[in-house]
Amino acid sequence: MEQKGLEDFLANAALLAAHLSQQCDKASSELQQTASAFRQDVTQGQAQFASTTRSALRESLAAEIPAAIQGLGEATDRFHRMAERLQVQQQSLDRHARFLGWKSLASIAIAAVAVLAATGYVAWENVKRAQEAQVQAAVLQALEQVTITSCDGHPCIKLEDGLRRWPKNDEYVLVDVAPATRLDAGP
């Protein structure tokens, strides 16, 4: 993986993490707004409850106790339904916030694994290059110990004693390029 591709991937992963963080912040903000709305609804419910209670007292004093009890029951039922709706919304927002949190963690983990894999690949490539450089260095070192030249148009090298030599200068060993091209038959 090239450096530019890795940088682009990391930039995209960072943008994804930022987007998921924004989604979490948005969900948190919505939860706070819902809580604020719930407080207002509770305040209104308390005011309505107080009003209904006063109204019921008046009606009961007017000998209409059954109608007052029914009004109180309806107000209480409305209040309970409102509280249940708010609780369901809050649970939904909590699940959504947890999902976004796990999604962010997964994205960061995937980005970390990708960075680790890219680093491993680059290290592996560097090891291969180092091994190739060692082979090339060994060849260069060997070339420093021999002389390669041309002897009457035939390739030859200057090596150790005991090898087939060029008759005009016995410091050089003949290299057979093709089996039919020999200058002498003896060792």
CA–CA separation, 47 vs 31, rounded Å? 24
CA–CA separation, 66 vs 56, rounded Å? 9
Q: What is the topology classification, in CATH, of domain 3-136?
A: Helix Hairpins (1.10.287)
Boundaries of every domain in the chain: 3-136, 146-174
This prediction's pTM? 0.35
Nearest partner of 17 among 114, 101, 119, 113, judged by Cα: 101
Tens of pLDDT, residue by residue, the chain (187 residues) = 577 887 888 888 888 888 888 888 888 888 888 888 888 888 887 888 888 888 767 766 665 666 667 778 888 888 888 888 888 888 888 888 888 888 888 888 888 888 888 888 988 988 888 888 777 776 676 666 667 788 888 887 776 666 677 788 877 776 665 444 444 544 3
Nearest partner of 97 among 25, 173, 35, 13, judged by Cα: 25
